[in-house]
Amino acid sequence: MSMGHGGGARGDLRAAYDRGETVCVIGAGASGLLATKNLTEHGYGVDCYDRETGIGGAWNWRHDRSPVYDSAHLISSKAATQFPDFPMPDTWPDFPRHSQVLSYLERYADHFDLRRHIWFGTEVVRVEPVAQGRWDVTTRSTGGVTERTHRYSAVVVANGHNWSPKLPSYEGMDSYSGEVIHASAFKDPATLRGRRVLVVGAGNTGCDIAVEAAQRAATCWHSRRRGYWFVPKYLTGRPVDQVNELVLAARLPPRVRQWLFQRVLKLAVGDLRRFGLPAPDHKVYETHPIVNSQLIYYLGHGRVTPVPDVARFDRHAVELVDGSRIEPDLVVLATGYLPQFEFVDPDLLGVDEQGRPRLHLQMFSPRHPSLAVAGMLQPDAGLFPLVHWQTVAFARWLRMREVDPDRAAAAVARFSPPGRRWHDARTKDTSRHWFETSRISYLRALQRLLDELEPSR
Amino acid sequence: MTRPSRTHPSRTRILRRREAALPVPPVAREVLSARPAVDEGRPPLLLVPGFGAGAWVYAEHWLDHVADRGYPAHAMSVRGHGGSARARRAGLRAYVHDVVQVAASLPRRAVLVGHGAGALVVARALARYPAAAAVLAAPVFGGRLAGWSTVGRCLVRNPVGTVPAAFGGPLRLRRGQLFSRQLPAATATAYRQRMCRAAARAQWQLLLGGLPEPPVGDPPVLVLGSPDDAVVSTAALNRVARRYGGAPLLFPGMGHALMLDAQWREPVEAVLDWLDKGLAPRD
């Protein structure tokens, strides 16, 4: 797909209906709702488009692109996940279930009267820059034909990054006699009952599904590429992220913290090689934390058998890298997701050869800062607060652009080069960790931006 | 650009380590509600009483009156007050948490109304919840802004009731500080007997604490009080009002307890008129 951009001198005569200062938000999931609420709060009109007929995006299990499964619960605790200006109810547990998160988003939308800004059943086909940092957004009704183009002063892309499966290509996988699915297609744990299941991948989803299989399947093999650190959900009777915050409050240098956390995990979780797992080949904080208290329990009860990486599939068996062969009748590939922006020229998001978008402060387009991506982060604690402040910063940035465009451009350029990481450990350079973000480092950077954009009182 | 400080914060701090590390523990809270006969889409009012008072101070007159004028009305007791669960070690952060929890549980963006030290709780809650509007009635703000003049007045008028509070004891306000002469003595005594005490930590924080962070969402704020209030001086009232970019609305002849005093109708009418003007329901 090639598109001209920057000039605004498009040859065709398609009329773009000018929406003035209105901002376009793509997606009505958590990030899109946050963007809609914070932009309207700053006085902007918002047109939010969603391809589905309801809000909630990934958290709405009715949506065909939703990755949630029956047992999906929050990984970070309620206090670390809730919006900074709209707390989850006191009566909820520390780790709410996905359906509670959806009802939270629905209450948020109703409380701030957001639904009147949302165009449901409408998908965005194209986003193209025109002069003065403005954007032509072409939409059509989901699955429909007729296209309409509106012109906006800015665009927030909030289409999520956990819906397009990243599928590994193992030799012979297509001709395997058993069933092979991606974790995105796994919804109901009843499908595991009595079967011989191989779960590939030891991310948070892979571990959750292995735990489900441990309770229902006849056999569960769990394959992983490397050794990981397993963080329990509770330490000293408190959610582990709260304990981590207490340690952070002591303002120890990152290396000392890393050492301390590693000591604590050795005490609380212990040596995983006893369970047949490989020792971690990296320090804690260098990969996304796996927060799971149950997997080790089921490993110890023989309900989950750890196996190494898959080498290849043949007609009836899966061969592992150590040469052993297993015969699962269901293979669940919990191998993650890749970001997808099929409606925008990859150049605008600074997408490199590997497919990784490189943005200023992980949100602003390196070409035109009036295009921002909200929520493309994988933080070590709750995501929602970071997206809240991202979208507040974007609204404030738009305000500054109206008054002083040069200062606004400079405020974003300070975060050069695009694609910088906001993390204090050296994270692994795999697509799994493209968006790995440290909550503290990122909030500090956002605070600097917000201070710069603060209207002078 | 002035440098933000603890006592004059001019910016929103987004890295909230304490709140992330030590969330406020949940408690059972008392909320009394009165709903209008016909819901016309007006924003609900959340009424927050001051230190030592519970939701009952609003239930006496204001709650029904607000509902009669077409606004859903909810009066709450922060922890350790009224019918809410006991909490002897609570601080201002816990009170703010209680207010924000109740506000977020309402179906629409709420108007926060705080009285006395409850106005400071509301002012702090405004930094954690984008209210539709806020009303600070006879506000007792801590620290430099109004704390010392308020303490001074209380010490002069009522040393016996005030001194213990400085040592973590209860604060006992006299009848003349709370009510005008028009309120029958028996009624005033009954009201005073229902008062309880705030947690010692919260009292200290009121006295010494910094100013609240700026409100989020830029809500319109109305400050009101009485020039004859024996607790809050007119100068303190002016300082608070100036902080929110306005002048206070004054109700002469009333004591500190605006919602219980004989002329309780005047301030609540003014608040509702102000809301009618500024917050016409959107179509």
The residues spanned by each domain of chain A are 17-164+338-453, 168-333
Q: Is A454 on the interface with B (CB under 8 A)?
A: yes
- The arithmetic mean of pLDDT across residues A234-244, rounded, is 92
* A-chain residue closest to B245, CA distance: A457
How confident is the model at residue B74, as a pLDDT? 98
* pLDDT for residue A252: 84
Q: How close, in Å, is residue A80 to chain B by CA atoms?
A: 6
Count of domains for chain B: 1
B16 in a structural domain = no
Calculate how close chain B gets to A361, using CA atoms only, in Å. 16
Bridge partners (DSSP) of residue A235 are: A238
Taking 90 as the threshold, does the pLDDT of residue A428 lie above it?
Answer: no
Query: Could you give the ipTM of this predicted complex?
Result: 0.92
Residue B12 belongs to some domain of the structure: no
Q: Considering only residues B159 and B238, tell me which one the structure prediction assigns the higher pLDDT.
A: B238
User: What percent of chain A stands above pLDDT 90?
Assistant: 73
Q: How many CA atoms lie within 13 A of A113 on its CB side?
A: 13
**B62 within a domain of the structure (yes/no):** yes
- Nearest Cα residue to A307 out of A209, A227, A220, A223: A223
Nearest-Cα distance to chain A for B215, in Å, is: 11
Report the CATH number at residue B166: 3.40.50.1820
**Which residue among A78, A79, A111 sits closest to B109, beta carbon to beta carbon?**
A111
Percent of chain B with pLDDT over 70: 93
Q: Is B283 a domain residue?
A: no
- Tell me which of B79 and B1 has the higher pLDDT: B79
| pLDDT on residue A64 | 85
Cα–Cα distance, A52 to B175 (Å, whole number): 61
- Per the prediction, chain A carries an average pLDDT of 91
pLDDT band at A282 (very low <50, low <70, confident <90, very high): confident
Decide if B144 touches A, using CB distance below 8 A: no
pLDDT at B7: 37
Distance of alpha carbon A168 from alpha carbon B278, whole angstroms: 58
pLDDT at B144: 64
Tell me what pLDDT residue B169 has.
78
* Full DSSP string of B177-215: HH--TTS-HHHHHHHHHH-----HHHHHHHHH--PPPPP
* Residues B241-283: tens digit of each pLDDT: 999 988 999 999 999 999 999 999 999 999 999 999 986 444 3
CATH topology of domain A168-333: FAD/NAD(P)-binding domain (3.50.50)
Q: Does B55 map to a domain?
A: yes
The verdict on A444 touching B (C-beta cutoff 8 Å) is yes
**Cα B143 vs. chain centroid, distance in angstroms?**
16
Whole domain around residue B223: which residue ranges? 25-278
pLDDT score recorded for residue A14: 59
Is B40 an interface residue toward A (CB < 8 Å)? no
Average pLDDT over residues B143-157: 71
Contact A246 B27 (CB under 8 A): no
Task: Please state which of the four CATH numbers 3.50.50.60, 2.60.40.1930, 3.40.50.300, 3.40.50.720 is assigned to the domain occupying A17-164+338-453.
Answer: 3.50.50.60
Per-residue exposure over B11-42, b if at least 16 CB sit within 10 Å of its own CB, e if not: ebebbeeebbbebbeebebbbbebebeeeeeb
Question: Binning pLDDT at 50, 70 and 90, where does residue A3 land?
Answer: very low
User: Average of pLDDT values for A146-160?
Assistant: 96
Q: Tens digits of per-residue pLDDT, B58-99?
A: 999 999 999 999 999 999 999 999 999 999 899 999 999 999
Do A17-164+338-453 and A168-333 show the same overall fold?
A: yes
A118-127, A254-263, A417-426: least confident range: A417-426
pLDDT at residue B146, rounded to an integer:
60
Chain B touched by A399 (CB under 8 Å): no
Which chain A residues touch B101 with a CB distance below 8 Å?
87, 89-90
Q: Looking at the predicted structure, is the pLDDT value of residue A28 above 60?
A: yes
- For residue A331, the cross-strand partners are A180, A198
Distances (CA, A) of B75 to B90, B120, B141: 20, 16, 21
* The pLDDT value given to residue A143: 87
Q: For residue B131, what pLDDT is reported?
A: 97
- Give domain status of residue B7, yes or no: no
The whole-angstrom distance between B27's CA and the closest CA on chain A is: 8
Give the closest residue to A261 by CA, choosing from A234, A243, A279. A243
Assess if residue B20 is contained within a domain: no
Place A456 in a pLDDT band, splitting at 50, 70 and 90: low
Q: What is the pLDDT of residue B27?
A: 95
Q: Does B41 touch chain A (CB under 8 A)?
A: no
Q: Is the pLDDT of residue B52 over 50?
A: yes
pLDDT at A149 over 70: yes
